[in-house]
Amino acid sequence: MIIEAKLKGNVSRAAHPYGCREMIKQQIDYVRAQGRFEGPRCCTVLAGN
Instruction: Answer for the pair 37, 30: CB distance below 8 angstroms, yes or no.
Output: no
User: In degrees to the nearest 10, what's the CA dihedral of 14, 47, 42, 10?
Assistant: -10
Q: How far apart are the first and last CA of the chain?
A: 33
- Decide: helix, strand or coil at residue 43: coil
Distance CA 20, CA 41 (A): 29
Is the pTM higher than 0.75?
no
Reported as type and span, the H/E element at residue 3 is none
The most confident of the ranges 8-12, 30-34, 36-40, 45-49 is 30-34
Average pLDDT, the chain: 80
User: Each residue of 10-23: pLDDT tens digit?
Assistant: 777 777 778 778 88
**pLDDT number for residue 28:** 92
